[in-house]
C-alpha cells in the first residue's frame, strides 16, 4: 500500500497551469464507456431503475431502497423537466473502493470531464474525513468499555470505511497537505467547468470564508450568493443539494430573517431545520443515504456508534440526532423543497433581502 501511495504522490502533475491529483495505479480495473457516455462493467447488470446503478453486491433490501430512491428522484426531476446523467455519481455512491474508483476516472478527469473531476476529488476528500472519523472511533473503542451493540457497530463501521478508503491512508503530514491541495484544485477546476456539486462546494467555502471571525456580508452580497445557490439547486444534482444544506445552515445563522419558511413550520425546534431538510431532500434525489453507506456509517460513529446497522440516514436523524418535533419539521421542509424543485419555483426558497 505504501508503494501505491508513493506512486500516487509522485504522479502529481501540472497541466494547463493548474495542479491536478494524478492517481497512477497498478492493475486498476478498467471501466469502459459506452457510446452514451455511461460507464459499464462486464460483471454487473444495470439496476432496473437505470441511471447507471447496479445491483452487484447489493442485498435485496438495499436494491429495493435504491429503486425507491431513484423512482422518487425521477418523479421530481421529470416533473421539473430536468434531465441528468447520473452515471458518475452513481458509481461514486456505490463504489466499494474509492481509491480504485478515482483511478478508473482519472483519465476522464484530466481530459476535462467535470463529473469525473468532481468524483475523483470527492472520493479523496471524503476519505480523509472518513478515516479521521474511524480513527477517533477506534481510539474510543480502545479506551473505554462499550455496550455490545455499540462495540459491534463500531467494528462494522470502521472496517467498512477502512475497506472503502484505506488506500488513501497517509501518515506523513506533508503528504496529507499535498493531497488536500490537489483535491481543492480539482474541485475548483470542476466548478469552473460547470459541475453543480463542485460549484456548491465553492459557494459554501466562499460564504464561510467571508463570515469567519467578526467579518460579515451585507444584504446585497448575500443576495448575490443566494442567486447562485438557486441556480445550483435548479440542477437537481443530489450532491449539490447536500452541499448547499451546509450553505443554508450558515445562511440561517448569519441572517435568520432572510430565509423563506412555510407558515405551517414551527422553525424554533432547531436552527438547522433547513440544513437537515435539505440533507433529506438530497437523499430523495439520489445522495447515498441507505443503510451502511459511508455517510451513514460516519455520521453514526460521530454520534457515538449507537446505531442499528439497518438504519438509513432518515432513521438516524429520527432515532439519534433530532427531537421528534425537529425531525417532523425537517421532513416537512424536505417535502417543501422537493415541491419547489418539481414546480420550478426554487427561487421561493429565499426571500429577497432588504437592501
DSSP 166-202: GGG----HHHHHHHHHHHHHHHHHHHHTT-HHHHHHH
Please tell me the predicted confidence (pLDDT) of residue 195: 92
**For the chain, how far is it from start to end, CA to CA, in angstroms?**
56
Kindly state whether residues 64 and 203 are assigned to the same domain. Answer: yes
Residue 219 lies in a domain: yes
Please tell me the predicted confidence (pLDDT) of residue 86: 64
Domain limits for position 217: 59-86+196-355
Kindly state whether residues 181 and 310 are assigned to the same domain. Answer: no
Kindly state whether residues 250 and 319 are assigned to the same domain. Answer: yes
Kindly state whether residues 185 and 200 are assigned to the same domain. Answer: no
- Which residue stretches of the chain have pLDDT < 70? 1-86, 171, 255-271, 351-355
Residue 341 lies in a domain: yes
Residue 112 lies in a domain: yes
Please tell me the predicted confidence (pLDDT) of residue 161: 95
Kindly state whether residues 203 and 320 are assigned to the same domain. Answer: yes
Last residue of some domain: 169, 194, 219? 194
Residue 49 lies in a domain: no
CA 130 to chain centre: 12
Kindly state whether residues 217 and 333 are assigned to the same domain. Answer: yes
Kindly state whether residues 188 and 206 are assigned to the same domain. Answer: no
Kindly state whether residues 263 and 331 are assigned to the same domain. Answer: yes
Residue 325 lies in a domain: yes
Kindly state whether residues 13 and 157 are assigned to the same domain. Answer: yes
Distance separating alpha carbons of residues 196 and 193, to the nearest angstrom: 9
Please tell me the predicted confidence (pLDDT) of residue 220: 84
Last residue of some domain: 194, 212, 231? 194
Q: Are 203 and 229 in contact (CB under 8 A)?
A: yes
Total Cβ atoms within 10 A of residue 313? 23
Last residue of some domain: 194, 218, 242? 194
Kindly state whether residues 126 and 257 are assigned to the same domain. Answer: no
Please tell me the predicted confidence (pLDDT) of residue 172: 74
Q: Which helix (H) or strand (E) holds 14?
A: strand 13-15
Please tell me the predicted confidence (pLDDT) of residue 242: 94
Please tell me the predicted confidence (pLDDT) of residue 274: 80
Kindly state whether residues 242 and 339 are assigned to the same domain. Answer: yes
Kindly state whether residues 166 and 80 are assigned to the same domain. Answer: no
Residue 299 lies in a domain: yes
Residue 14 lies in a domain: yes
**What residues pair up with 46 in beta bridges, in sequence order?**
54
Number of domains in the chain: 2
Is 199 exposed, middle or buried, given 0-12, 13-18 or 19+ CB atoms closer than 10 A? Answer: buried
Is 241 exposed, middle or buried, given 0-12, 13-18 or 19+ CB atoms closer than 10 A? Answer: buried
327 Cβ contact partners less than 8 Å away, ≥ 6 residues apart: 317, 318
Amino acid at each position: 500500500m505504501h508503494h501505491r501511495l508513493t506512486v500516487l504522490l509522485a504522479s502529481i502533475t501540472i497541466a494547463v497551469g493548474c495542479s491536478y491529483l494524478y492517481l497512477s495505479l497498478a492493475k486498476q480495473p478498467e471501466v469502459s464507456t459506452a457510446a452514451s457516455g455511461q460507464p459499464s462493467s462486464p460483471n454487473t447488470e444495470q439496476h432496473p431503475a437505470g441511471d447507471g446503478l447496479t445491483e452487484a453486491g447489493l442485498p435485496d433490501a438495499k436494491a429495493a431502497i435504491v429503486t425507491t430512491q431513484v423512482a422518487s428522484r425521477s418523479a421530481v426531476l421529470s416533473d421539473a423537466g430536468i434531465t441528468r446523467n447520473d452515471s458518475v455519481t452513481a458509481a461514486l455512491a456505490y463504489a466499494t473502493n474509492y481509491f480504485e474508483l478515482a483511478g478508473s476516472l482519472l483519465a476522464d478527469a484530466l481530459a476535462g470531464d467535470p463529473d469525473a473531476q468532481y468524483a475523483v476529488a470527492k472520493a479523496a476528500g471524503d476519505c480523509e474525513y472518513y478515516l479521521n472519523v474511524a480513527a477517533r472511533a477506534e481510539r474510543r473503542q480502545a479506551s473505554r468499555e462499550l455496550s455490545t451493540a455499540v462495540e459491534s457497530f463500531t467494528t462494522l463501521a470502521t472496517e467498512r470505511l477502512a475497506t472503502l478508503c484505506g488506500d488513501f491512508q497517509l501518515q506523513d503530514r506533508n503528504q496529507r497537505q499535498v493531497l488536500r491541495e490537489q483535491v481543492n484544485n480539482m474541485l475548483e477546476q470542476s466548478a469552473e467547468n460547470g459541475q453543480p456539486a463542485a460549484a456548491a462546494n465553492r459557494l459554501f467555502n466562499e460564504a464561510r470564508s467571508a463570515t469567519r471571525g467578526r467579518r460579515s456580508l451585507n444584504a446585497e452580497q448575500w443576495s448575490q450568493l443566494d442567486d447562485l445557490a438557486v441556480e445550483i439547486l435548479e440542477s437537481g444534482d443530489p450532491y449539490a443539494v447536500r452541499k448547499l444544506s451546509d450553505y443554508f445552515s450558515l445562511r440561517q445563522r448569519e441572517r435568520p430573517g432572510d430565509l423563506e419558511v412555510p407558515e405551517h413550520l414551527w422553525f424554533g425546534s432547531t436552527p438547522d431545520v433547513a440544513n437537515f431538510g435539505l440533507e433529506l431532500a438530497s437523499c430523495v434525489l439520489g445522495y447515498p443515504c441507505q443503510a451502511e453507506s459511508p455517510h451513514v456509517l460516519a455520521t453514526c460513529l460521530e454520534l457515538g456508534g449507537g446505531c442499528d446497522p439497518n438504519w438509513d440516514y432518515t432513521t438516524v436523524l429520527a432515532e439519534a440526532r433530532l427531537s421528534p418535533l425537529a425531525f417532523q419539521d425537517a421532513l416537512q421542509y424536505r417535502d417543501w423543497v422537493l415541491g419547489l424543485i418539481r414546480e420550478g419555483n426554487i427561487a421561493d426558497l429565499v426571500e429577497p433581502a432588504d437592501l
